[in-house]
Structure 1
């Protein structure tokens, strides 16, 4: 499984429905917050989040699926996972210096890196065809 380094902590790369996602545990860990900080923030502000856009609610059945585990998402009781927009909304209350550094690195190195890799893959064949 691929991992990515954010400041001084590593997290596993997780994908769901073609998008990189993070869990509550990932967010608390990389932001060096007490356990359940991200979960509490989500419960407090859930009305502002859009399901299947900002987050996915994984049922127990979905979490037992081999496809989910293959993407690095392991949650035997089900749970929530967050897209880039959901992550940014969730941590908007984290305003210390570390939070700003983590947010910038996570967005640029985790969420956006995949998009850049796809763009390069799409451009390479075009360049090759044009030369021949």
Structure 2
């Protein structure tokens, strides 16, 4: 397994040339050659981000701080690759004196996979899309879904089927209460046994009517999301 260091620029996840080379099992020179050979197909801002000047200096500082301060597992994505990782350390070595830097977006990684057209490149590209480029996006979407609460307004007083079901259960409970009172004041065994069996029958009836009530769903008047 290979640890892919997370790189972000302009609000999106990107990859360096060295990272793509490691992932696709090729070389940085090959990535550069693909870029120059198909330069007309690569659009800046869509397929790659070119950092220079103040923006590059800011990026270097952010990546250096991220590399030093964050725990390894908090800023890495696991991808199926056996090559030794270089990307994690290049921010403090190769990029330290670089005057410009090309970072590849998800669509840029796709163009490189097309240029290489190897099983390895396509396999890893699919993995990168699901678990690298869109991992943060998926997490945000899930958090947004979890953050939403839906409250449904109902009016049981005007919901006739439910009102009738409730009244039926209330009637059953009243009968049960009367029979239990009879059992408490019984003076003859035969009468006590009769009342006791009637209690059992009413208990069955209550269970049935309660189940019918539980199966009824109230009419939704309004849904409020907050």
The TM-score normalised by the length of structure 1 is 0.81
The answer to whether structure 1 residue 62 and structure 2 residue 79 are counterparts is: no
Long gaps (5+) in structure 2: 68-89, 153-225
Question: How many pairs were matched up?
Answer: 124
Q: How does 1:92-131 map to 2 (within 5 A)?
A: 92-127=114-149, 130=151
What is the aligned-residue RMSD (CA, Å)?
A: 2.3
The answer to whether residue 5 in structure 2 is matched with residue 12 in structure 1 is yes
Match of 2:45 among 38, 47, 52: 52
Take 2:62 and 2:3, find their aligned partners in 1: how far apart are those partners? 23
Q: Secondary structure at the match of 1:93?
A: helix
**CA distance change for structure 1 residues 50 and 68 in 2, over 3 Å: closer, same or farther?**
farther
Q: 1:56 touches 1:82 (CA, 8 Å); kept in 2?
A: yes
CA deviations 1:96-117 (Å, max 9, x no partner) are 2222211111111101111110
Structure-2 change in CA distance of 1:106 and 1:86 (3 Å): same
Stretch of structure 1 that moved more, 33-42 or 13-22: 33-42
Q: Distance in 2 between matches of 1:70 and 1:96?
A: 36
CA contact (8 A) 1:38 1:91 kept: no
For normalisation by structure 2, the TM-score amounts to: 0.49
Task: Note the C-alpha offset of 1:71.
Answer: 6.0
Q: Indicate conservation of the 8 Å contact 2:24/2:124, yes or no.
A: yes
Q: CA deviation at 1:19?
A: 0.5
Name which of 100, 109, 113 aligns with 1:91. 113
Equivalent position of 1:4 in the other structure? none
Partner Cα separation in structure 1 for residue 54 and residue 5 of structure 2? 22
Secondary structure (helix, strand or coil) at the match of 1:91 reads helix
Q: Specify which structure has the higher proportion of helix.
A: 2
